[in-house]
Amino acid sequence: MKLVLATRNLGKVRELGEMLSDQRKVEILSLRDFSDAPQIVEDGETYQENARKKATQIAEHTGYLTLGDDSGLEVDALNGAPGVHSARYAGENASDAQRIEKLLDALKDVPDDQRTARFKCAIAIAEPEGQSKVVVGVCEGKIIRESRGVHGFGYDPVFVPAGYDQTFAELGDEVKNRISHRAKALRMASKVLFNG
């Protein structure tokens, strides 16, 4: 079975590919395998809308079962920001470091016990014929005051998941791929994909 990951983000392709690696009957493709794939505008108001839009449009384009995801970081002290705008929080072409810098600056006066946050991930699975299903995974945690660690991507260096003392970027892929928002959503999505 071929499964297209509706992303060009190498970090996501690697992470999702590793999480799906025990499914030997699945051939994982990404948008890098389809140079003519359309750019999907993520203009939904929720992660679910964006994930479904990516999955359905790419499934229609490629003719293959497609997994689309959208995720973001919600910080309580910022009324849920950056939220659905996490990737564009510091501007359209900002780097991970620039997004983290903006986030830490926005939180500089927030006490440590009020820096609660969560990562959310919506995963949509779409068939070329148009049917789709969406699941959502959540990972609670907090935002620390400076970046730590070298693994992962995005806001991983400043997010410490609940029950841990290290950031996602310090914990590494093995732990992150077990406890993250994306891992939780993917476990639910796998049940849909593989009837398991």
Q: What is the domain-level CATH number for residue 153?
A: 3.90.950.10
Catalytic residue among 43, 69, 70, 113: 70
Query: What are the start-end ranges of the H helices in 63-167?
Result: 96-106
Question: What is the residue range of 49's domain?
Answer: 2-194
The helix/strand/coil state of 49 is helix
The yes-or-no answer on residue 96 being catalytic is no
Distance CA(74)–CA(82), nearest Å, equals 6
Q: How many domains does the chain have?
A: 1
Confidence (pLDDT) at 15: 76
Could you tell me which of 78, 13, 69, 87 has the C-alpha nearest to residue 181? 69
Distance CA(70)–CA(121), nearest Å, equals 6
For residue 52, give both structure tokens: 């479904």
- Per-residue pLDDT of the chain (196 residues), as tens digits, is 889 999 888 877 877 777 777 766 788 899 999 999 999 988 999 999 999 999 999 999 999 999 999 999 999 999 999 999 999 999 989 999 999 999 999 999 999 999 999 999 999 999 999 899 999 999 999 999 999 999 888 999 999 999 999 999 999 888 988 999 988 998 898 888 876 4
